[in-house]
Chain A
Amino acid sequence: MAATEPDRPAAARSTALLALTAAAMALPGMAPSTAQAQDSENVSLEYHRYEEGSRDLSSSYLFVKPKPLEVDSLSLAAQGTLADRIFFGLDYTQDTWSGATPVTTLPHAAIGAQIQSGASIPTYYATNLKRQPVVPNYSIFNGRTYPRVNDSRLADVIASASPETRREISGKIGYRWDSTTASFGAGISDEPDYKSYFINTDGSLDLNQKLTTVNWGASFTYSDIAASLASNTAADFGAYTDQIRLKGTESYLYGSRHDVSANAGVTQILSKDALVAGEIGYTRSAGYLSNPYKATEFAFDDPHQFIDITQLRTVFIKGVLEERPRLRNQWNFDIRYIQYVADTDAALHFDYRFFHDDWGIDAHTFDVSLYQPLGDGWMIVPGARYYTQSAAYFYKPFFLFNQAFPVKLPRNPEVPAQIDFSKVRIQHYSSDERLAGYGTATIELAIDKQLKENLRVELGADYSYRSGQLKLGGGGVQNFADLHSYTVYATLKFDLAGRTGLEDYRNGAAIGGDGQTQDAAAAPASAIAPVPAGVRFTRLLTERGDFAISLHHDYGIQGGDTLHGTDTVSDARIAKLDCGGQDCTRRVAGAYAHSTTLDILYAPVAGWTLQVSPQLVDLHLDETDLGGGGIILPPHPGLGPGGGTIPPNLFHSSAGLGDTGIYVLKQLFGDDGNRIDAAVGLSLPTGSTDKRVNKSSDYLSYFLQPGSGTVDFAPTLTYRGGTGRFAWGAQLGWVERLESSNDAGYRLGDRVQGSVWGSYRVLDWLTASLRGVGTEQGVIHGRFKPHVTPVQNGYKIVNGQPVPIFKNVVQPQTELGPMDQPGSYGGRFGDIGFGVTATVPSGAFAGNRLSVEWLQPVADDANGYQRARTGALSLTWEAAF
């Protein structure tokens, strides 16, 4: 494709030739085919978004319609070689989960009964004498009974969890002999409720003149679970009373599990146009394998219950934390076939996988996709997938027992009755729909474009529909569990094979990354020496068509004393502050803000750089109760005696897409040792300012909103200079909000920041920096607007069914502490930054730059009442390719 273009410049042709040589070296006959992936030296970055469609909630009794599940993922992977035969891989993935998913499944008739009684949770449903669920209309009594309608439907109960972020980092290192490879790896996956630690090994062996490759792998994973049951307090803790303990003021379920996995496979070249790969895998999982956020409904239909003149029976229901077996053996059989289609230069991929486990689940996956090159570096990849599984033997939407409700004695009259499990004949139970029988059909489309010799971009999307009716052989779950879902993604892949970095580096070309070759020639290297990790807008491109990316991660921590201006204040004083007409009851214990920003740079015209900077944020706010007006926690089995003033929730988190910056960068001045650059742009409000407290229409505090909600003007002016090993610089940047308020009713304060730094090149590849930073940010203007909360106000009967009537009540935003007050944001702050920057001097990753900087606060003058800052960490990776 690119290599056949007639008018490409000589340099590009030689690179293309290099790439072709590299491709030829990757031929199965010329290099170890098994290590195709291990041979390559590349970096790839992917943003991936999964979103579920709205579930059928028409039957549910919900004040606020919850948002469906959304998962934003970011993945960064690098692989390369350290020496001739040593290869490595590094992976980082983060996913942020937010939105609502089912907690349990109920007979729909129980929701009808709940609406009529106005109860906070469903506790029973009625049946007729044939034991069919019915919804009686209790508002009409004809002297003998109530009119009723049959209702055998099922309904999901949906609940939101606080958005939270999982981070996984893993690495591997391996060695390649002539026909054999072996590698070892390890990694950690970390999220608030679940931590996994894993080690793995794999290897391969080429046989039969490299027509056959045998591969194997094994892994061990240990996971610790600490799940808050705050959103599941109505459920009976069932078998887990020993595993549930208080952490702070919330009950947590603790557990652990381990997974051992092994797999072996063969890849066989069948002809010059086809290959096949088969693999067998086995996984043994043991320990706590249940899902702490899922409850199962137990329904008790007492055969001896008294039936009055109405001829209605009553079935009592109770949610119980699900319990799965503590052991699971799983087998996988996978076969893939790839056929080259000579007529169109395409490749057809077929993949069939069979899964079997001793929980009774058999699953089949069929995957087919066509990789069709279109010329000029374009490729289109349509695909389809069909997945079907049978149900686990312990799955039911709910469990019906033909017995009276077995009340656990002695009964505490202050809390709902608990179940005496010694009187229930059941060992394992789950109503998690992922264990039901169903099928899922997926269609996929990806478009791939080779942008430069070593840069590829792929954009893709898929749509899936899950339904019990799609289950192979029929008999799938009812349609309450139907689900639509969507995925979109973008991948950038940099191929580093063939780079001769060291020479480029010595010539200064790689110092600023791609496109700065001309700068290097025009100014000494010191003027474009690395800047500290926390300094932005210093990467400028020169040639038309140049392209670059940088990735920044900032982590700010506020965990010091509470400040009012520059003075430390006591909790007693905060407890006397006015919070919406009442004393404040909470203060911030710690505030933690992560933000990951990707700078995508492109030069549409020589000398002008366009920068687009999307952002993912992950925010945590811990609050301390000041004892002024907490909620009394009732005694609860497994929690010990209750009582005391204890707030219901002390930990809040939020996450998601942040605001997106769009900037234009331009060099204003440059001579032998100095340069001045300007960046002018807008920050667009792509981040939400509508994150709410669970089960409430109140907003989360200002700190926890991922976006500003306003269009902001954000200019920056940067000076850089240097001589020899020394370099210095200064930057002034400010943010001005262009709108008077966002949709939530407020706007953040404007911000001005100035910094001055000096750096010294300690080694050819290592630079140390010292920086002084001053920041001023204004208070928040306006405040969260009052919000309308629908409150149930009776019900009416429509087609025999009770339908709740809501009335709208306007309520002001609840204020619990200074973090809910606009005046307690911003201030004047001073910091000193200590940083180092490493530039890879040679090899495939030459010119890539990794910077770290710690900002140590030295002066705080906080507006209102705020927690003092502990510090901030900045990490920057400037990709060179």
Chain B
Amino acid sequence: MKGGPLKFLLPAAALLCLQACQPVEPWERGNLAKPQMALEPNGTHSALRAHTFATRESASAATSAAGGGCGCN
């Protein structure tokens, strides 16, 4: 893998762990609950978009859903 992703991911993981030490109380999570803060604000579109890209590009995400068809054309 030529070390490419690890160079990026390790500092990110370290940053994540440092940050995680800051407690966020339940009553402070109002902003996090807003729809625009969801990981996938429009899940149906995200799935179709990912399917379109996966049939036009070589990289495709590993997901637990799978399926997807040929996309041969």
Q: List residues of A whose CB falls within 8 A of some B CB.
A: 23-24, 26-30, 36-37, 44-46, 48, 50, 69, 71, 73, 75, 77, 91, 93, 95, 97, 99, 101, 161, 166, 168, 170, 185, 187-189, 191, 193-194, 196, 198, 200-202, 208-209, 211-212, 216-221, 223, 225, 227, 259, 261-263, 266-278, 281-283, 291-294, 330-336, 338, 340, 342, 345-347, 352-357, 359, 361-363, 365, 371-373, 379, 381, 387, 389, 392, 434-435, 440, 446, 448, 458, 460, 485, 487, 489, 491, 493
- Alpha-carbon separation in the docked complex, A101 to B72 (Å): 10
Contact of B52 among A50, A223, A460 (CB under 8 A): A50
Contact (Cβ within 8 A) A170 B20: no
- Alpha-carbon separation in the docked complex, A45 to B51 (Å): 16
Closest Cβ neighbor of B2 among chain A residues: A362
- Alpha-carbon separation in the docked complex, A386 to B61 (Å): 16
Contact (Cβ within 8 A) A219 B66: yes
16 A–B contacts, CB within 8 A, in A order: A23-B33, A75-B44, A93-B47, A188-B67, A191-B69, A211-B23, A262-B62, A263-B63, A266-B16, A272-B29, A272-B30, A275-B32, A359-B58, A363-B57, A379-B36, A491-B44
Chain A residues with Cβ under 8 A from B23's Cβ? 209, 211
The 3 A-B residue pairs with the shortest CB-CB distance, nearest first, are A29-B26, A217-B64, A281-B62
Given contacts A27-B32, A338-B37, contact A211 B24 (CB under 8 A): yes
Contact (Cβ within 8 A) A269 B1: no
- Residues B13-35 near A (CB distance < 8 A): 13, 16, 19-20, 22-34
Contact (Cβ within 8 A) A356 B5: yes
Chain B residues with Cβ under 8 A from A46's Cβ? 44-45, 48
Contact (Cβ within 8 A) B29 A28: yes
Contact (Cβ within 8 A) B72 A69: no
Contact of A336 among B39, B56, B68 (CB under 8 A): B39
Given contacts A75-B44, A209-B23, contact A200 B64 (CB under 8 A): yes
Closest Cβ neighbor of A219 among chain B residues: B66
Contact (Cβ within 8 A) B61 A332: yes
B contact residues, range: 35 or more
Closest Cβ neighbor of A389 among chain B residues: B58
Contact (Cβ within 8 A) A340 B32: yes
Given contacts A278-B9, A389-B58, contact A71 B52 (CB under 8 A): yes
- Alpha-carbon separation in the docked complex, A166 to B60 (Å): 19
Chain A residues with Cβ under 8 A from B31's Cβ? 272-273, 340, 342
Contact (Cβ within 8 A) A196 B32: no
Chain A residues with Cβ under 8 A from B53's Cβ? 387
Contact (Cβ within 8 A) B58 A194: no
Contact of A354 among B8, B27, B44 (CB under 8 A): B8
Given contacts A263-B64, A272-B28, contact A48 B9 (CB under 8 A): no
- Alpha-carbon separation in the docked complex, A30 to B59 (Å): 37
Contact of A27 among B4, B9, B33 (CB under 8 A): B33
**How close is B52's CB to chain A, nearest CB, in angstroms?**
5
- Alpha-carbon separation in the docked complex, A26 to B51 (Å): 28
Closest Cβ neighbor of B56 among chain A residues: A434
Contact (Cβ within 8 A) A270 B22: yes
**How close is B58's CB to chain A, nearest CB, in angstroms?**
5
Contact (Cβ within 8 A) B20 A208: yes
Given contacts A28-B29, A201-B64, contact A168 B69 (CB under 8 A): yes
Q: A282-B62, A283-B60 are in contact. List 11 more A-B contacts (CB 8 A).
A: A29-B24, A45-B44, A208-B20, A211-B23, A219-B63, A223-B70, A272-B24, A276-B19, A281-B63, A389-B59, A440-B57
Contact (Cβ within 8 A) A487 B40: no
- Alpha-carbon separation in the docked complex, A381 to B43 (Å): 14
Chain A residues with Cβ under 8 A from B20's Cβ? 208, 211-212, 268-270
**How close is A173's CB to chain B, nearest CB, in angstroms?**
14
Contact (Cβ within 8 A) A193 B39: no
